[in-house]
Structure 1
Amino acid sequence: MASTEDVKSESAVTTIVNLAEEAKLAREGVKAPSHALLSVTKSLVAGGVAGGVSRTAVAPLERLKILLQVQNPHSIKYNGTIQGLKYIWKSEGFRGLFKGNGTNCARIIPNSAVKFFSYEEASKGILWLYRRQTRNEEAELTPVLRLGAGACAGIIAMSATYPMDMVRGRLTVQTEKSPRQYRGIFHALTTVLREEGPRSLYKGWLPSVIGVIPYVGLNFAVYESLKDWLIKSKALGLVDDNNELGVATRLACGAAAGTVGQTVAYPLDVIRRRMQMAGWKDAASVVTGDGKTKATLEYNGMVDAFRKTVRHEGFGALYKGLVPNSVKVVPSIAIAFVTYEMVKDILGVEMRISD
């Protein structure tokens, strides 16, 4: 056994070595990076890349979904996914398929970065509280706890980037024939702020937050729970020698997660989009009983928007654009999850969301 003097000697040597290394870095003008800050930065970068890649891959379907959600029920232009994409291509060309994608990426990149990072931090906090409550240091996150962490992440990310989502919707819906032409993100933000006031930037925020709880929460909960089950049960022989799932399997888990989440939350997404368009005179018009047109319906809150939508167009209007959205969400969520994990691997971050 080492003596007290030996321990003190080793401690002193270690301290001297550490101080010497710090002094050397100082002389060279190099500041040792904070491990925590570096880890946070890598997580944010991975989340941002995942959001940008996944959203650009499905940009045409995203635009068609919004057009279907807000189009005039008395003047139907888009009658489905294939027909709608062909109509956009014919009337606006290839660029029309990606209209609003720059704004969308400008919103989704920080949104995705904040969402993934918030989920990781919320998961850590919830797991810490759960282990203290159960007095079991080996306890793991349950699907319900993952749902809660995902809901927290969704609310934080949605609230932080909501004005960008609001103007993205307007940039996506406007056409070359619209009297009002927003020239870009900044112009749209300043115009809406000047003409409609600060509160208009958060139109539809409540249904968005309510909708993001099941949507993002279920995305994370289903994705991680499916992965966890497949790895532990080794079902269908999908686990490799390193006890990992392949890219195709992870994509399938992400697709299942996206399908479940968006189906549950979709009506709230429709209401959110309509509330964002409310009061905008250049949005899709509504035909009155005398054949004249008027601006889009005004809504006195989320419940009123639900009631008027169902009364004027039927319950099915709450699921307008669901088909292209489903086709979009399946690859989008899958690509986002897998890209996030792959980028973190490339950046050398050991911990993944499932850890």
Structure 2
Amino acid sequence: MKWSVIVIPSLEDAQLTPILRLGAGACAGIIAMSATYPMDMVRGRLTVQTDQSPRRYRGIFHALSTVLREEGPRALYKGWLPSVIGVVPYVGLNFAVYESLKDWLIKSKPYGLVDSSELSVTTKLACGAAAGTVGQTVAYPLDVIRRRMQMVGWKDAASVVTGDGKTKAPIDYTGMVDAFRKTVRHEGIGALYKGLIPNSVKVVPSIAIAFVTYELVKDILQVEFRISD
């Protein structure tokens, strides 16, 4: 068999509206999130274990086997719905804000920040940070509800969620709306934003770096390689 490499010139990116960018980013996020959700659910439980909570999970595989054995396969997808809904403002807004802000800077060149059709790495980082801030802030309440729904079925998880180490009543949510209602009623609207600042310190820079890396890889891969016989 004879192998050859066909080089296909790259095509110019089609002009996408913010709505199309939002939809494309959201679809990509939903697929990726759904594929890895059981690991995220387990990570959530491992993360919130404290001295006041039962030390039930020794690691990832022990947590997975314990949840499957005691709560069933569906338990690995608790909180999936608010996660899917949250993907739209989170991933979608990240892409939409980043690309739209980048286009605006190139076209408008405000305050002399941009003097060519190519943005600097620093400017791209700033665009990514702005996009991450918007997406993170809008979607964060859904992330809080997702984490709380992941705790349902975990013995004595109520003391972990509320952080007081004293609550003995089991957490019981009939669904996403019920989780929102009970959280706001018992703890106030501010509970939906618990941990926003420390989470943003981690998420916003990572999103900025991810977008810059994405741009650099696009610049490097100017051609597509395909192997044919």
Scaled by the length of structure 2, the TM-score of the pair is 0.84
1:179 maps to a residue whose letter is P
Contact 1:147/1:220 (8 A) holds in 2:
yes
Match of 2:66 among 181, 191, 207: 191
Q: How far does the alpha carbon of each residue in 1:295-330 deviate from its partner, in whole angstroms, 9 at most, with x for none?
A: 542100001101111111111111111122233332
Name the structure, 1 or 2, with higher relative contact order (CA <8 Å, separation 6+). 2
d(CA) in 2 for partners of 1:300, 1:229: 44
d(CA) in 2 for partners of 1:299, 1:177: 22
Between the two proteins, the alignment pairs up a number of residues equal to 217
Structure 2: gaps spanning 5 or more residues: 224-229
The change in CA–CA distance for 1:295 and 1:254 in structure 2 (over 3 A counts) is: same
Tell me the CA shift for residue 172 of structure 1.
Answer: 1.0
d(CA) in 2 for partners of 1:187, 1:335: 33
| Residue in structure 2 matched with residue 153 of structure 1 by the alignment | 28
Contact 2:158/2:169 (8 A) holds in 1:
yes
d(CA) in 1 for partners of 2:135, 2:106: 22
1:262 maps to a residue whose letter is Q
Which structure has the highest strand share of the two? 2
Structure 1: gaps spanning 5 or more residues: 1-22, 40-123, 128-139
Q: Does 1:304 align with 2:178?
A: yes
Q: Does 1:168 align with 2:43?
A: yes
The change in CA–CA distance for 1:208 and 1:35 in structure 2 (over 3 A counts) is: farther
RMSD (Å) for aligned C-alpha atoms: 2.7
The change in CA–CA distance for 1:145 and 1:183 in structure 2 (over 3 A counts) is: same
Which structure has the highest helix share of the two? 1
d(CA) in 2 for partners of 1:199, 1:33: 46
| Residue in structure 1 matched with residue 199 of structure 2 by the alignment | 325
- Which residues in structure 2 correspond to 1:230-241 (within 5 Å)? 230-239=105-114
d(CA) in 1 for partners of 2:189, 2:199: 18
Q: Which runs of 4+ in 1 moved over 4 A?
A: 31-36
Identity rate of aligned residues, in percent?
Answer: 83
The change in CA–CA distance for 1:286 and 1:338 in structure 2 (over 3 A counts) is: closer
Q: Does 1:349 align with 2:192?
A: no
Scaled by the length of structure 1, the TM-score of the pair is 0.56
Secondary structure in 2 matching 1:294: coil
Q: How far does the alpha carbon of each residue in 1:101-160 deviate from its partner, in whole angstroms, 9 at most, with x for none?
A: xxxxxxxxxxxxxxxxxxxxxxx8xx6xxxxxxxxxxxx211121111111112111111
Q: Does 1:249 align with 2:131?
A: no
